[in-house]
Structure 1
C-alpha cells in the first residue's frame, strides 16, 4: 500500500498536478486514495529522500522546489551516458530498432499535432528507452531512471508547442545518425538536444526564479552548463 501511495504522489508531483512549493494536504490525499495517514506519511518520507518533498516539523510537508544545480548534474550525466551509448549501439543495431524508432517519431508528431503535451512527454521518454532496451544496458538505464523524477518536473515546466516541434527535430537528427550508421553524427545530435533543453530551462528559471530553489543564483549560460 505504501508503494502504491508513493507512486501516486510521485506522479502528481512529476506531472505538476502538485506544483513546486505547494502545500501537501495529507487529509485530502487520504480521502482521495482511501487510505489511512500512516502510508501517506511513509510515502512522503520516501519522497523526501528522492528530493521531491520537504518535511518541516510542526509545519507540514510541501512539494520541493526544483534545484537547477541538481538538474544540471543529472543532465550532464545523461549527456555523457547517452552519447556513449549511441556510440556503442551504432553498427550493431538491427531492423527492430529502426522500426520502433520510426513508429515513435510518427507518434511524437501525432501528439504534437494534437498539442497533447502529456502524451508527448511519455513518447519522448520511450524514444530514449527504445535505444537502451536495444543495447540491454540495464545499469545505464537504471542510473538515468533514478534521476528522472526531478528531470521530468523541470522539463515539463518548459513544454510549449515550440519546444515540442524542436524536440521532434532534435530526435529526428539523432535518428538520422543511427540510420546513417554515423557515430559522430548521432553523438553530436544527442549532445545538441540536451544542450538546447538546458538553454531553455536556464532562460525559464531566470524569468521565474521563485519556482526554483536556487533560481536567484544562476550565472550566464556559458558558466552554468558545459555546452558543446
Structure 2
C-alpha cells in the first residue's frame, strides 16, 4: 500500500501503466529520482518499497534496474542487492571534453548564419534563467540551463551532435546538480550571457571562448567539490590536489 510515510514518496508514479510500457515507465521514474539526487549516489535501493510506491510487481522494477545498470546509474551485486552508482568524475571529465569541442565548433558554424528566431528564443531563455534564480528554484533553473544549449542545436538542426550530447546527460546532470548553489546560478547566468553576447555581436571567437570558459568553470567547481566530498564519487579518492589533475586548461 502506498502511504505518505513511504521513504520513496519522491518517486513520480506514472498516471497510467499501460501493458507493454510498465518497465519503461518504472525505468523513467527511477532514473528521474537518481538524476535529481532524490536517490543520492551510494544509496541502497529497496525493490519492495519501490514496488509498493509505484503499484507494480517486482519484475518491471528488476528490469528497470537492469536497464539503469547499463546506463551507469545503478550497481547490482549478486546476493547484495542494488545501489545507486557513485558518480565517476573521469566519465564526466571525458564527456565534458567532448561537449566542449562539439559546442564550440557548433557555435562557430552558427555565427552569422542564424535566424532571428534564435535571438528571440535566447532572450526569452535568459529572462527565464534570471526569474528561476530569483526564486532560488534550482530544479527549474537546471531545465532552463539545458534548454539554453538545446536552442542552439535545434536552430541548426544538428541532430547527431545533440544525440551525442544527450547520450551521457543523465550522469552529467547528477554531477552538475551536486554543485548547484545560488552562487553557481549567478555565475552560470553571467557565463550564458557572455555566450549570447558573442552571438549577438556575430563574433565567432568571442562566442566560442565564452562557451569553452563556461564549461571549464563548471568542471573546476566540480573537481573542487569532488575533493571535498570524495565519498560521492567512485574515483573521488584518486583526484589530485593541484591543477594538473584538471586537463582543460
Change (3 A) 1:220 1:82: farther
Q: Contact 1:6–1:47 at 8 Å: present in 2 too?
A: yes
Matched, 1:177 2:177: no
Q: Which residue of 2 aligns with 1:100?
A: 121
- Pairing partner for 1:22 from 29, 43, 62: 43
Instruction: Give the Cα separation in 2 of the matches to 1:187 and 1:147.
Output: 22
Give the corresponding residue for 1:119: 140
Output the CA distance in 2 between the equivalents of 1:223 and 1:9: 36
Contact persistence 1:202–1:221 (CA under 8 A)? no
| Paired residues of 1:83 and 1:187 also in contact (CA < 8 A) | yes
- 2:90 is the alignment partner of 1:90: no
Q: Which has the higher contact order (CA 8 A, sep 6+)?
A: 1
Matches within 5 A, 1:50-65: 50-65=71-86
Query: Residue in 2 aligned with 1:11?
Result: 32
Q: Tell me if the contact between 2:97 and 2:248 (Cα under 8 Å) persists in the aligned partners.
A: no
Structure 1 unpaired stretches of 5+: none
Moved segments of 4+, more than 2 Å: 220-228
1:134 to 130, 138, 155: 155
Q: Which residue of 1 aligns with 2:177?
A: 156
Gap change, CA 1:221 and 1:122, over 3 Å in 2: farther
TM-score between the two structures when normalised by the length of structure 2:
0.90
Select the structure of larger CA radius of gyration. Answer: 2
The count of residues paired between Structure 1 and Structure 2 equals 228
User: For residues 93-122 of structure 1, what are the alpha-carbon distances to aligned partners after superposition, in whole Å with 9 as ceiling and x for unaligned?
Assistant: 011000000000000000000000000000
Q: Which segments of 5 or more consecutive residues in structure 2 lack a partner in the other structure?
A: 1-21
Does the residue aligned with 1:106 lie in a helix, a strand or coil? Answer: helix
Candidates 17, 41, 65, aligned match of 2:62: 41
Q: Equivalent residue for 2:101?
A: 80
Counterpart residue number, 1:206: 227
CA distance in 2, matches of 1:221, 1:71: 18
Q: Measure the CA separation in 2 of the matches of 1:59 and 1:223.
A: 38
The normalised TM-score by structure 1 is 0.98
Matched, 1:165 2:182: no
RMSD (Å) for aligned C-alpha atoms: 0.8
Name the one with the larger helix percent. 1
